[in-house]
Structure 1
Amino acid sequence: MVANKCLPLTTTTRALFSSTTTSPLLLFSSSISIPNLPLSLSRPNPTTLSSSRPFSQYKPPMNILNKLGFGSKSTPDPASMENSSIAQGPDDDVPAPGQQFAQFGAGCFWGVELAFQRVPGVTKTEVGYSQGFMHSPSYEDVCSGKTRHNEVVRVQYDPKECSFENLLDVFWARHDPTTLDRQGNDVGTQYRSGIYFYTPEQEKAAQESLEKQQKVLNRKIVTEILPAKKFYRAEEYHQQYLAKGGRFGFKQSSEKGCNDPIRCYG
């Protein structure tokens, strides 16, 4: 299931449709408690984006939320799973000279990227998909929940100006690491909490950081710590989404050290 993104944990829920409607489908759906979330706050519908990727003709059964217009209606092409060994391979991209990579999953990658953009010593950020079994997935594929990809931010940083521990502090502060495959109303495996390391030093620091965080939280942390795998850069409209203004054109500052609250939809 794909839910509206980046809404606070305190968002209340109620029925989406009024019981006064006469539509049979809406009458049926009125018995389901669905968040009363503004549809204008959802991500651009991936089905409206052009794609050259061939898809399987197999059509999966659709649940009621699919019929009401929520979630993806496509199925990843099984043929693309044949290259799963590529997707499961290491990230073979190379950072700029003197720089290092780090990779994090902490829910919807729009707000996570902006948080890292503001960190002094971070020289580049990209959002994308990783830790899945499909080679070169699209956003639509990832939203299907069948590819096991996570929405991640790949951070390039200068270790002379920014330590990996500094990045970990931003990671923990940005999301709730105790909710499995979920951040607020965003539900799905692509929203899972994860630290994906490139070096043994990063792995050690990540594990120590997790243990430290667990001591101050009263619920079990479910963050996965795994080697960084092939990084698939997300579609261009996702890159620096909030800094560019989001879908409403309200640009948010990516200046280093900025402490402005991050509005997930611009």
Structure 2
Amino acid sequence: MLLRSPIITISTTASVSRPKILLKKTFLQPLQTSSSSPHRSFYKMNLFSKLGLGARSPTEASMDSASSAIAQGPDHDIPAPGQQFAQFGAGCFWGVELVFQRVPGVTKTEVGYSQGYSHNPAYEDVCSGSTNHNEVVRVQYDPKACSFDSLLDVFWSRHDPTTPNRQGNDVGSQYRSGIYFYTPEQEKAALESLEQQQKQLNRKIVTEIVPAKKFYRAEEYHQQYLAKGGRFGFKQSTEKGCNDPIRCYG
């Protein structure tokens, strides 16, 4: 659930169109008072949702059995020959994708939405929190050059797995920590890895470890967002083994 700001009067003339960079960065920033404030559109969208005019609640979405069955089904996409899939949720998928792009043996990454109730969600639906989707990165890797255990090491190092539905200033169910396995071997490795990580922490890990479900590829502008320049147009390196700091929003 997004953090609430003080009650405000919402202009009915405010635009409801929002670029991702504002949605991502302004959840915890002070509310602007200008009539052109991008915050107004997002709060208006949430108000519409509460009034039944926007995205549906998880309960409503789950009542659509056909849509829910598709969304809750397994990921039937097939990796390239000799490759395997892995799927992770660890906060905003921009930075998570870049860290996996840099891993030797990773041959492809895509960002998208999974583990939700509705079919073909849009970014605005996911941000509303009404569909229960998580922002995930689907990683394709060559198991001869990159083990699943090494991907798990990257996953744990990238985020805080003890904060429910939150990574830093990003708050919402779409930012939850999750490992979504494709095979029993991946499940076993993930559970063992979590157990080892828990021994090193004094707070409970809340990472969910469940089967990978249907992967909905995010809008094209989200793909390789930081490698393409991000918010400020400064391209970040995807070179294998690169250790340059990742600027999460570009």
Contact 1:150/1:190 (<8 A) preserved? yes
From 152, 157, 161, the counterpart of 1:168: 152
In the aligned structure 2, how far is the partner of 1:103 from the partner of 1:219?
24
Gaps of 5+ in 1: 4-15, 18-23, 27-40, 47-65
Distance apart, 1:70 and its partner CA: 4.4
Residue 153 of structure 1 is matched in structure 2 by 137
The answer to whether residue 84 in structure 2 is matched with residue 84 in structure 1 is: no
Q: How far did residue 2 of structure 1 move? A: 4.5
Residue 122 of structure 1 is aligned with which of 102, 106, 110?
A: 106
Letter in structure 2 aligned against 1:260: D
Give, in angstroms, the shift of residue 79 of structure 1.
7.4
CA deviations on 1:188-242 (whole Å, 9 max, x unpaired) are 1000000000000000000000000000001000000000000000000000000
> Any idea what SS the aligned residue of 1:169 has?
helix
| 8 Å Cα contact 2:61/2:117 also seen in 1 | no
Q: Is the 8 A contact 1:102 1:197 kept in 2?
A: yes
Give the superposed CA RMSD: 2.6
Q: Which stretch of the first structure deviates more once superposed, 245-254 or 94-103?
A: 245-254
Query: What is the CA–CA distance in structure 1 between the aligned matches of 2:41 and 2:222, rounded to whole Å?
Result: 22
Task: Find the aligned partners of 1:209 and 1:222 in 2 and give their Cα distance.
Answer: 13
Q: Counterpart in 2 of 1:257?
A: 241
Q: Percent identity of the aligned residues?
A: 77
For residues 255 and 183 of structure 1, what CA distance do their matches in structure 2 show?
25
Contact preservation (8 Å) 1:2, 1:70: no
Give 1:261 shift. 0.4
Output one character per residue of 1:12-51: Cα deviation in whole Å (capped at 9) or x when no partner.
Answer: xxxx99xxxxxx959xxxxxxxxxxxxxx962559xxxxx
| Distance in 1, Cα, partners of 2:103 & 2:186 | 18
Residues 79, 153 of structure 1: alpha-carbon distance in 2 compared, 3 angstrom cutoff: closer
Q: Does 1:188 align with 2:167?
A: no
Alignment counterpart, residue 87 of structure 2, candidates 103, 107, 112? 103
- Tell whether the 8 Å contact from 1:90 to 1:228 is kept in structure 2 after alignment: yes
User: 1:76: how far off?
Assistant: 2.1
Question: When the two structures are aligned, how many residues end up with a matched partner?
Answer: 216
Task: Give, as a single letter, the amino acid of the residue that structure 1 aligns with 2:215.
Answer: F
Distance (Å, rounded) in 1 between the aligned partners of 2:2 and 2:144: 39
Partners of 1:25 and 1:228 in 2: CA distance? 40
Q: Which residue number in structure 2 is paired with residue 43 of structure 1?
A: 21
Tell me which of 218, 239, 245 is aligned to 2:229: 245
- Whether the aligned pair in 2 keeps the contact of 1:114 and 1:254 (CA below 8 Å) is yes
Whole-Å separation in 2 of the counterparts to 1:42 and 1:95: 28
Q: Which of 203, 212, 216 lines up with 2:196 in the alignment?
A: 212
Distance 1:225 1:134, change over 3 A: same
In 2, Cα distance between equivalents of 1:250 and 1:76: 34
**C-alpha contact (below 8 Å) 1:131/1:230 kept by paired residues:** yes
Give the TM-score, by structure 1 length. 0.75
Could you list the runs of 5+ residues in structure 2 that have no partner in the other structure? 10-18, 25-37
Change (3 A) 1:185 1:45: closer
2:212 aligned with 1:228, yes or no? yes
SS in 1 for 2:111: strand
- Give the structure-2-normalised TM-score: 0.80
2:214 partner SS: coil
